[in-house]
Chains A and B, each alone.
Chain A
Amino acid sequence: SQQGEEDPQALSIQEGENATMNCSYKTSINNLQWYRQNSGRGLVHLILIRSNEREKHSGRLRVTLDTSKKSSSLLITASRAADTASYFCAPGSGNTGKLIFGQGTTLQVKP
Chain B
Amino acid sequence: GAVVSQHPSWVICKSGTSVKIECRSLDFQATTMFWYRQFPKQSLMLMATSNEGSKATYEQGVEKDKFLINHASLTLSTLTVTSAHPEDSSFYICSARSDRGYGYTFGSGTRLTVV
Contact = CB atoms under 8 A, between A and B. Distances in A.
A97 B42 CA distance: 22
Contact of B34 (A33, A98, A103): A98
B95 interface: yes
Most chain B CB neighbours (cut-off 10 Å) among A45, A88, A103: A45
Interface of B: 4, 6, 32, 34, 36, 42-44, 46, 49, 91, 93, 95, 97, 103-109, 111
A95 to B, nearest CB: 11
Interface of A: 33, 35, 40-45, 48, 88, 96-104
B25 to A, nearest CB: 13
B106 A98 contact: no
B55 to A, nearest CB: 15
Contacts of B105: 45
A1 B50 CA distance: 16
* Interface of chain B, main secondary structure: strand
Contacts of A33: 103-104
Nearest to A1: B46
Contacts of B44: 43, 88, 101
A101 B43 contact: yes
A42 B104 contact: no
A41 B93 CA distance: 9
Nearest to B48: A98
Given A42-B108, A98-B34, A102-B43, 20 more contacts: A33-B103, A33-B104, A35-B106, A41-B109, A42-B4, A42-B6, A42-B109, A43-B93, A45-B103, A45-B106, A48-B103, A88-B44, A97-B32, A98-B46, A98-B49, A99-B34, A99-B95, A101-B43, A103-B42, A103-B43
